[in-house]
Structure 1
Amino acid sequence: MSATATGPRRAALAGQVAIVTGAARGIGRGYALRLARLGAAVVVVDRDLRSYEEFDAERELMTAAGTADEIAAMGGRALAIEADLSDARSARQMVDQVMDACGRIDVCVCNAGGGTGAMTENTASRLDLGQLAAVLDRNLLTTVNTCAPVAEVMRARRSGKIVTVSSVSGLQPRPDGGYAHYAAAKAAIIMYTRCLAQELGPEGVTANVIAPGAIGTGRLLPKMRELGLDEVTRDIALRRLGTVEDCAGVIEFLATDLSDYVTGQVIRVDGGLRG
């Protein structure tokens, strides 16, 4: 009998513990909700657990005071932790807190990140070094700082799934060479994850990358509408923006036994972006 949306797959992560960083809003929130629906106890980590309040569209999507509260309201188990993951000590304390509360870590989705400035700024030869440092901290450093202590836990159990979050920006440059600081940070995450996969593979731990394209989150959709949706989707084969659920479906694959023989891979979720 095949699994259905209301059948066995809903319990695919029953008894497991999943960390999702940057989960207070947007795509990270979507990842956390999907993993909770699959039966995992979800640790919602963010520098600010109420960051959704900064954006009207994100605030309107919330059904409770925070992502962890939404999971609890739907009958799931959740733990909320505020942590600045660009600080290695803070990241390790977060993992220690998870182990004290849950006793295990089976899945870790390193979603925390973000860019700075306009898309046309920070071309490769005109990088603002302050913004470059900030973007490396937000993306690469948060990923490294999270993966290091998580890998120790998974290595000891000889099992686990790590998913890092890059972007199509880390795979192909913008035509104008802009946003190079963000592109470089996201490209670095890809190579870091591939190295992690080689290191941890013999110990039963997988490490893969999801690389979203133009995703219509509550924060980004208004900006995309200003640019014109036809313009944004012109080079996308499916001629539409991606959704949070499009990305969450790939996270489901990478976090469950569906991907047990997949590691060191980059999965683009970009609707067939030409480039």
Structure 2
Amino acid sequence: MGKLSGKNAIVTGAARGLGREYALRLASLGANVGVIDINLKSFEEYTAEKELLTADTVMDEIKALGVNSVGAVADIGNREQVFAAVETIAKELGDISILVSNAGGGMGPMDGNKASQLNWEQFHAVVERNFFGTVYTCNAVAPIMKKLGYGKIVNVASVGGLMANSDGSYSHYASSKAAIIHYTKLLAQELGPYNVTCNVVAPGFISTARLVAGYQAVGEEKFTRNIALGRFGTPEECANAVEFLATDLSSYVSGAVLEVTGGTVGRILMNQ
């Protein structure tokens, strides 16, 4: 019996990357896992991601672990699609007691979208996919958890939501992730009486298959010099944090932010 045997989970943005890692971890612990993504084969867009797959889809990988899985296509920034996807998965798997709201991402150059120089199209798109998408998913799942009298909501923010780039860049992404953090604290207050915990995982610089090439292109030292541990994190290390918050190991933890940053937050690297 795994820690999550008999439980049903949803992971958004789980067709590749960190979302896939979270979904597989929950499945390895015994949970049935529903996958929501705008493209259930989005891993095909990146050779490094595609090479990680051990089956035709993430849902097939999950089923190979001996649990059930179903996929649903939705644009996470579209409220109607998100609610429909959650309904589809709940009908197939049963009542959802675990949510990992992971879908999101940035847009545009890393040194762009400074706080007073926003690209409005990118700003709206990023806020919708990060903040709005998280809110939609939580609102779709919360009634199920309230009925059950149990639930674990894990929202995914970022180191960018905890500290500001010194030049004010990538502010659309950072602001949306900061909003997720405060929203989750509000959600924890409301859902606490229903025995539903709501927490945040805030990853730092993580070496996913897709991002490694980007780090190397810019120069890894520009990133690692800001990390106390001096190295990038791994998807498995992020999944460890999700496992803690999605299981009863965290039964008295709610409204918290678990930083998976290797000591990046709170670190001030002086010019050398």
Q: Same fold (TM over 0.5)?
A: yes
The match for 2:143 is: 152
2:31 counterpart of 1:40: yes
| Aligned residue among 89, 92, 98 for 1:98 | 89
Output the CA distance in 2 between the equivalents of 1:82 and 1:92.
11
SS in 1 for 2:209: coil
| Aligned residue among 55, 58, 62 for 1:71 | 62
2:206 counterpart of 1:215: yes
- Which ranges in structure 1 are unaligned for 5 or more consecutive residues? 1-7
Output the CA distance in 2 between the equivalents of 1:226 and 1:133.
28
The match for 1:4 is: none
SS in 2 for 1:97: helix
1:236-247 equivalence runs, <5 A:
236-247=227-238
> Deviation string for 1:194-215 (max 9, x for gaps)?
1000010011111000000000
SS in 2 for 1:210: strand
The match for 2:184 is: 193
Output the CA distance in 2 between the equivalents of 1:24 and 1:154.
24
Q: Match of 1:92, as an amino acid? A: F
- Which ranges in structure 2 are unaligned for 5 or more consecutive residues? none
What is the CA distance between 1:236 and its match in structure 2? 0.7
1:111-130 equivalence runs, <5 A:
111-130=102-121
Preserved contact between residue 157 and residue 181 of structure 2 (Cα < 8 Å): yes
Aligned length: 266
SS in 2 for 1:61: coil
SS in 2 for 1:19: strand
Preserved contact between residue 46 and residue 210 of structure 2 (Cα < 8 Å): yes
Deviates more, 1:91-100 or 1:143-152: 91-100
Runs of 4+ in 1 over 6 A off after TM superposition: none
Superposition CA RMSD, Å: 1.0
What is the CA distance between 1:73 and its match in structure 2? 2.2
What is the CA distance between 1:231 and its match in structure 2? 2.4
The match for 1:87 is: 78
Q: Match of 1:213, as an amino acid? A: G
> Deviation string for 1:73-109 (max 9, x for gaps)?
2333211111122111111111211221122111000
The match for 2:98 is: 107
SS in 2 for 1:219: helix
2:133 counterpart of 1:164: no
Output the CA distance in 2 between the equivalents of 1:131 and 1:93.
26
The match for 1:28 is: 19
Instruction: With the length of structure 1 as denominator, give the TM-score of the two structures.
Output: 0.95
> Deviation string for 1:19-44 (max 9, x for gaps)?
00000000000000000000000111
Preserved contact between residue 69 and residue 93 of structure 2 (Cα < 8 Å): no
Q: Match of 2:87, as an amino acid? A: D
SS in 1 for 2:191: helix
Percent of paired sites with the same residue: 52
The match for 2:258 is: 267
Output the CA distance in 2 between the equivalents of 1:86 and 1:100.
22
